[in-house]
Amino acid sequence: MGTQNDFSRSFQATSAMSAYRRVTIASTGKIGYASSTAVGSGIIQRDVDASDWVAVRLAGTGSMLCSVTACPITMGDAVYAAVTGQVAVTGTITVGVAVNSATENGTLLEYIPSHLP
């Protein structure tokens, strides 16, 4: 039987990862960066070393904070899946709508997820 988690759940990392990046869950139960072709299962909440356990804010639990690339992004813009788990103003897989603006790559953007993974 599965469990119910309101906001986050801990997973083991497959490699060292930076905070506030989109992640996906592998068949092994570990997490890795979400690609530019995946919405992702949630957002990693802190920097983590390989094999460490870390909290993931699950998608669909309210707004999300994520590192950005391909700036600028303006409040109200659609945001898309980008490489290494980031979000961008262009792409093919929509992940949500920007709640604030971002003008520098690597800064954090709050967005509302558009759908569940």
**Is residue 13 located within the same domain as residue 50?**
yes
**Is residue 75 located within the same domain as residue 98?**
yes
**Is residue 70 located within the same domain as residue 50?**
no
**Is residue 14 located within the same domain as residue 45?**
yes
pLDDT band, residue 114 (cuts 50/70/90): confident
CA distance 23 to 26: 10
In a domain, 101, yes or no: yes
Give the model confidence (pLDDT) of 39-94 as tens digits: 898 999 999 999 999 999 988 778 889 999 999 999 999 999 998 999 999 999 99
Structural domain that includes position 72: 64-113
81 neighbors 36 (Cβ within 8 angstroms):
yes
Count up the domains in the chain and report the number. 2
Go through the chain and tell me how many residues it has.
117
**Is residue 53 located within the same domain as residue 77?**
no
Q: Supply the pTM of this predicted model.
A: 0.82
